[in-house]
Structure 1
Amino acid sequence: MHAAPAPDHDSAERRVNLTRYLSPDEIAQVRARSTWRGIGMIAHCWATIAAMMALVAMFPNPLTIVLAIMVIGSRQLGLAILMHEGAHGGLAVDGKLNLWLSQWLCAYPVGAETLAYRRYHLQHHAHAQTERDPDLPLSAPFPTTRASLRRKLLRDLSGRTGLKQRLAQLRGAAGTAGTAGMPVGERRATFLARLGRPLLVNAIMLAALAAAGFWWLYPLLWLLPLLTWFQAVTRIRNIAEHSVLPAGDAWRVARTTRAGWIERALLAPYWVNYHAEHHMMASVPCYRLARLHQLLQAKGLDARLEIKPGYLAMLRVAAPQR
């Protein structure tokens, strides 16, 4: 049986006010933002991508290619996570710089857009695990069978999910909604307004690799990871964050999953695994979520959270039957 979502009128009551449990100094400590930390995370993400591309360029073989696809796909998820951080204003103290970093260095490279995402995502925070939660369809199918989960992950890893989503994105940008009867020039302008900047950033990436003599790295180590590993780890992350949670429990609208270094490298970059803490205080930048977790733990409040010891343990809960 799936856990039924709580009625929407409960949403305000289902938020935990951590100011009742943490001192003003502790709250100020975890809410403190650093522009240099934000820039550093973005630089780390792109440096990892560049390093894996350089590895394959120097030693092109099946082992390095598969490793690079996995690592780069996880860093593409990292860019999406850092876009999410920008949507919450956590990449820089200055709002304009925060948005620029989030858009041009995080969102556009993976075909996303921060402002559109922010509008959608704030509804998720306002109505998490209720009937008005726009992310509810991501968690509602669980628990499911292991066979069903395997089919979903195989679709992701084969590229079927990614191709379907990208084609839908292109059709939506070219769209029929609101563009029927428009002159060709206006329809072109509408398309460019919706997808022009992501396409520009990707064209720059391709041109830079081509200028270096490695154009083939773009389809092999950017598009292929984006259509495969990125899709699979995004699904696993979505399952971990909100699936199979008790309805009506303000402390358990989201889950924290403990992650070792391999999981952080391939599944859960940039502290995304501390999702329960994020939902309790969304103004805390991602690099301080571990500290928030420690504060809650020191006060004995971690026992009230939904915490799993690892992603494999979490998947066993999401897919308990064969």
Structure 2
Amino acid sequence: MSAVRLLPPDRFFDRAEWSAITTASRWRGPWLVAHAWIVSIAAVGLAAWSGNPAAWLLAVAIVGGRQLGLAILMHEAAHGLLHPNRKLNNFLGQWLTGAAVGSDLIAYRTYHLQHHKFTQQPEDPDLSLSKPFPTTRASLGRKALRDLTGQTFFKQRAAQFGFALKGLKAMLRGEQVEKGRASTKAGTPFNKQSDDGMTSPTIDVAGAMTVARSVGRFLVVQGVLLAASLALYGWTPYLLWLAGLATTFQLYLRVRNIAEHACTTTGSDDPFTHARTTYAGWIARATVAPYWVNFHAEHHLFMGVPCYRLPAVHAMLGRQGKHDAMTIAPGYAAVLRRVTAKG
């Protein structure tokens, strides 16, 4: 296997700078989690209170961006960057972020670290996400339509619940797996989108049981949200949350996945070429690029840096003349033009 070459931090930082930039804050991670929930609850609550269909559509657009934000913050927790206390970091990543969008922190962490180890190499488990590009505008348009009409969501959830049922049956039969074992592929089908909107790995019994637990947490969170919605405003807030999860979240997730690695260099041993940084205005930050996820090249160069410090790393690389060696896009529209150059 051809693991990617790591950059020694002392090429860019002295010891004190590196310690400061990689030390997770005790309050910023929890605040970002709270922010995602506050914005989501305010968006669906105000839209329900207004009774205006235009406000409902706006709420679905906003809440999809914060749902992607929760997925991004689970990614932070997978790197241990959401809080310096490991137990609190994992609780935030498992229950308050990952469970809301149907992902399992531990399985995702196992899978995702393989992606970092072999980024854009043949062994990269995410290579299938970038391999189909460039594609045609018509092809990407069809995928976006499937996302916005809920087809991607229902296809993913049907597969996820099918795996969960197998896992639940194994649990009821009393089957045992090695403690701490997590199937690498158990984290893949429900937080990443392949060319057809869905990855379909073979999941073993351990993986199916992991998926079952993940679905259990997902249903618990959905039940809490539904109960709160019914107690305060009726069905409307929860239905708006669910609509965002089924539509805009799926589209934003696709665009985010595309922007990170599509049409970057494959098989290169130069770590500056493995991922793309995309400049994001306020609309992009509210939708496809929450919580500094657009600084993806910097994240791959220094994956121990919390998301809120990636802009500082980007500026530092610029001062050292490294931007020319990186793949940097002026915006998400430019990325979509680049990846639909075929034909």
Q: Could you tell me the TM-score, scaled by structure 2's length?
A: 0.85
Q: What residue number does 1:268 align with?
A: 289
Select 1:250's aligned residue among 268, 271, 292: 271
Select 1:237's aligned residue among 242, 245, 256: 256
State how 1:291-310 maps to structure 2 within 5 Å. Answer: 291-310=312-331
State how 1:130-279 maps to structure 2 within 5 Å. Answer: 130-175=121-166, 179=170, 182=173, 190=209, 193-219=213-239, 221-247=240-266, 248=268, 249-279=270-300
Instruction: Please say which of residues 310-319 and 171-180 is displaced more in the overlay.
Output: 171-180
SS in 2 for 1:143: coil
The sequence identity of aligned pairs, in percent, is 46
**2:89 equivalent to 1:98:** yes
Question: Does structure 2 retain, via aligned residues, the 8 Å contact 1:83–1:106?
Answer: yes
Q: What residue number does 2:190 align with?
A: none
Unaligned runs of 5+ in 2: 175-204
Q: What residue number does 1:319 align with?
A: 340
SS in 1 for 2:277: strand
Select 1:42's aligned residue among 33, 36, 42: 33
Rounded to whole Å, the distance in 2 between the matches of 1:201 and 1:78 is 16
Question: Does structure 2 retain, via aligned residues, the 8 Å contact 1:90–1:98?
Answer: yes
Select 2:105's aligned residue among 107, 114, 117: 114
Deviation at 1:198, TM superposition (A): 1.6
Alignment length, in residue pairs? Answer: 309
Show CA shifts across 1:119-163 (max 9, x none): 110110011101111111111100011111111111111111111
Question: Does structure 2 retain, via aligned residues, the 8 Å contact 1:241–1:255?
Answer: yes
Question: Does structure 2 retain, via aligned residues, the 8 Å contact 1:18–1:280?
Answer: no
SS in 2 for 1:307: strand
Question: Does structure 2 retain, via aligned residues, the 8 Å contact 1:17–1:280?
Answer: no
Show CA shifts across 1:21-75 (max 9, x none): 2222332232121120011101111110011012212212221111110110010
Unaligned runs of 5+ in 1: 1-7
Deviation at 1:193, TM superposition (A): 3.1
Deviation at 1:18, TM superposition (A): 3.4
Deviation at 1:103, TM superposition (A): 1.1
One-letter amino acid matched to 1:301: K
Relative distance call for 1:203 and 1:180 in structure 2 (3 A) is: closer
Question: Does structure 2 retain, via aligned residues, the 8 Å contact 1:30–1:289?
Answer: no
Rounded to whole Å, the distance in 2 between the matches of 1:49 and 1:151 is 28
One-letter amino acid matched to 1:227: A
Rounded to whole Å, the distance in 1 between the matches of 2:17 and 2:276 is 22
One-letter amino acid matched to 1:198: F
One-letter amino acid matched to 1:57: A
Q: Structure 1 segments of 4 or more deviating over 6 A?
A: none
Superposed CA RMSD in Å reads 2.2
SS in 1 for 2:36: helix
SS in 2 for 1:256: strand
**2:74 equivalent to 1:83:** yes
Deviation at 1:181, TM superposition (A): 10
Q: Could you tell me the TM-score, scaled by structure 1's length?
A: 0.91
Rounded to whole Å, the distance in 1 between the matches of 2:302 and 2:229 is 40
Rounded to whole Å, the distance in 1 between the matches of 2:39 and 2:214 is 29
Question: Does structure 2 retain, via aligned residues, the 8 Å contact 1:86–1:98?
Answer: yes
Question: Does structure 1 retain, via aligned residues, the 8 Å contact 2:73–2:93?
Answer: yes
Rounded to whole Å, the distance in 2 between the matches of 1:245 and 1:302 is 15
Rounded to whole Å, the distance in 1 between the matches of 2:28 and 2:171 is 46
One-letter amino acid matched to 2:232: A
